[in-house]
């Protein structure tokens, strides 16, 4: 009885930003980057994304992304105009492309590092995603962080045994681990009942918070502003 009452009285976990807000941001930011060619607007997007991950506790990552942005911006603005040749043109293209998609990388890392699989699955059920898509997506969502841990474990094991760390020595056990991890994650997802066609319950409370409402409102204002400026030929 005490255990049952403890479970009932347990507070459901809440997140600072709903996953639907993060997914919306990725879609909107991609549209902004495709339609806009303004460096100022691009800088505003980067600062907005960095502000969000800073609020969510990723200050170190925000600082690193900011340094990367300024390095790529410096290469494009200070060095590229004074260089010529195929190699420098290629470097300029890669730098601009990476800088353009940096907000997407920021938001993608934010989703992968700050979203639990249980929250992801709960949101997918809430959005009425088909079951055939939820299971593989949930496996993929957990796959990359697990592979990262396997990579670190393999490198640490080789270092302890005095084995020279090379790409060949790391990739072979990593590929074997990747196959095992995919099978284990698929089995774990099925054991948790993700293939059950009935309605699912979750400890994660999926709902919008004040922070989400604020982000949606600011995004809407930016979208309207971008449309107006695009019509005026400013962006």
* 65's tokens: 């992304």
Instruction: Answer for the pair 17, 215: CB distance below 8 angstroms, yes or no.
Output: yes
Given a cut of 90, is residue 67 above it in pLDDT? yes
Instruction: Answer for the pair 195, 135: CB distance below 8 angstroms, yes or no.
Output: yes
Q: Are residues 23 and 81 in the same domain?
A: yes
Instruction: Answer for the pair 42, 69: CB distance below 8 angstroms, yes or no.
Output: no
* 3 domain residue, yes or no: no
Q: Are residues 182 and 134 in the same domain?
A: yes
Q: Are residues 134 and 31 in the same domain?
A: no
* 212 domain residue, yes or no: yes
Q: Are residues 69 and 47 in the same domain?
A: yes
pLDDT classification of 196: cutoffs 50, 70, 90 = low
Instruction: Answer for the pair 101, 125: CB distance below 8 angstroms, yes or no.
Output: no
Q: How far apart are CA 118 and CA 95, in angstroms?
A: 36
Q: Are residues 91 and 58 in the same domain?
A: yes
* 7 domain residue, yes or no: no
Angle at which helices 117-126 and 131-160 cross, to 10°: 170
**Given the structure tokens 């299971």, which residue do they identify?**
135
Q: Where are the beta strands (DSSP E) in the chain?
A: none
Residues 6+ apart with CB under 8 A from 235: 35, 36, 37, 38, 41, 226, 229
Q: Into how many domains does the chain fold?
A: 2
198: helix, strand or coil: coil
Q: Are residues 165 and 224 in the same domain?
A: no
Instruction: Answer for the pair 36, 225: CB distance below 8 angstroms, yes or no.
Output: no
Full residue range of the structural domain in which residue 179 is found: 117-203
Instruction: Answer for the pair 116, 68: CB distance below 8 angstroms, yes or no.
Output: no
Given a cut of 80, is residue 56 above it in pLDDT? yes
> How high does pLDDT run on average in the chain?
78
The answer to whether the predicted template modeling score (pTM) of the entire model surpasses 0.85 is no
Most confident of 3-7, 103-107, 110-114: 103-107
Calculate the alpha carbon distances from 98 to 12, 70, 93 in Å.
Answer: 39, 12, 9
Q: Which of 3-12, 58-67, 184-193, 197-206 has the lowest mean pLDDT?
A: 3-12
Residues 6+ apart with CB under 8 A from 207: 18
pLDDT classification of 235: cutoffs 50, 70, 90 = low
Query: What value does the mean pLDDT take over residues 120-135?
Result: 78
Q: Are residues 19 and 110 in the same domain?
A: yes
Query: What value does the mean pLDDT take over residues 162-181?
Result: 75
Q: Which candidate, 105, 107, 108, 74, places its Cα nearest to that of 92?
A: 74
Q: Are residues 22 and 110 in the same domain?
A: yes
**Given the structure tokens 């929250």, which residue do they identify?**
119
Q: Are residues 56 and 73 in the same domain?
A: yes
Q: How far apart are CA 134 and CA 86, in angstroms?
A: 45
């Amino acid at each position: 009885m005490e255990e049952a009452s403890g479970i009932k009285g347990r507070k459901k976990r809440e997140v600072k930003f709903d996953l639907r807000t993060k997914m919306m941001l990725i879609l909107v930011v991609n549209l902004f980057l495709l339609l806009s060619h303004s460096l100022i607007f691009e800088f505003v997007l980067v600062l907005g994304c960095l502000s969000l991950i800073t609020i969510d506790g990723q200050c170190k990552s925000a600082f690193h992304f900011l340094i990367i942005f300024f390095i790529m911006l410096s290469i494009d603005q200070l060095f590229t105009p004074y260089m010529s040749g195929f190699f420098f043109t290629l470097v300029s293209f890669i730098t601009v492309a990476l800088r353009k998609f940096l907000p997407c990388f920021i938001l993608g890392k934010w989703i992968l590092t700050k979203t639990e699989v249980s929250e992801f699955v709960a949101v997918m059920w809430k959005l009425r995603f088909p079951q055939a898509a939820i299971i593989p997506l949930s496996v993929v969502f957990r796959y990359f962080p697990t592979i990262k841990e396997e990579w670190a474990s393999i490198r640490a094991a080789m270092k302890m045994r005095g084995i020279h760390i090379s790409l060949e020595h790391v990739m072979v056990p990593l590929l074997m681990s990747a196959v095992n991890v995919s099978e284990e994650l698929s089995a774990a997802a099925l054991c948790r009942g993700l293939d059950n066609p009935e309605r699912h319950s979750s400890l994660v409370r999926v709902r919008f918070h004040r922070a989400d409402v604020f982000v949606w409102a600011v995004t809407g204002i930016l979208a309207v502003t971008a449309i107006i400026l695009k019509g005026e030929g400013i962006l």
